[in-house]
Amino acid sequence: MVEYEFWDLTISRTKSRNAVCRMLTEAAEYQGWELARLRRDPSGTRTVRLRRKIIRMRATLV
């Protein structure tokens, strides 16, 4: 079963589309996050949910 870690962000409407795109691209490229959901409220505020897999090491029997 795959487990995910989530990171919720709220981005104000004053941020440009290019700035938000650059920020999300850097999070994906360098930290391993992927976009799970992006919502834009009627007020213009963006709510972003990023996720990444949790990799757990299991003990092996010797």
Token pair recorded at residue 37: 């959901």
Number of independent structural domains in the chain: 1
The answer to whether residue 60 is domain-embedded is no
This prediction has a pTM of 0.80
**59 domain-assigned:** no
Q: What is the pLDDT of residues 3-48, one digit of tens each?
A: 999 999 999 999 999 999 999 999 999 999 999 999 999 999 999 9
Reduced to 3 states, what is the DSSP secondary structure of residue 35? strand
Residue 17 three-state SS: helix
Identify whether 61 is part of a domain. Answer: no
Strands in 34-40's sheet, in edge-to-edge order, are 3-11, 46-54, 34-40
Round to whole Å and give the CA distance between 32 and 53: 8
Q: Which residue has the tokens 């976009």?
A: 35
Please give the residue range of the domain that contains residue 21.
Answer: 3-54
Tell me, yes or no, whether 39 lies in a domain: yes
DSSP annotation of 28 reads: H
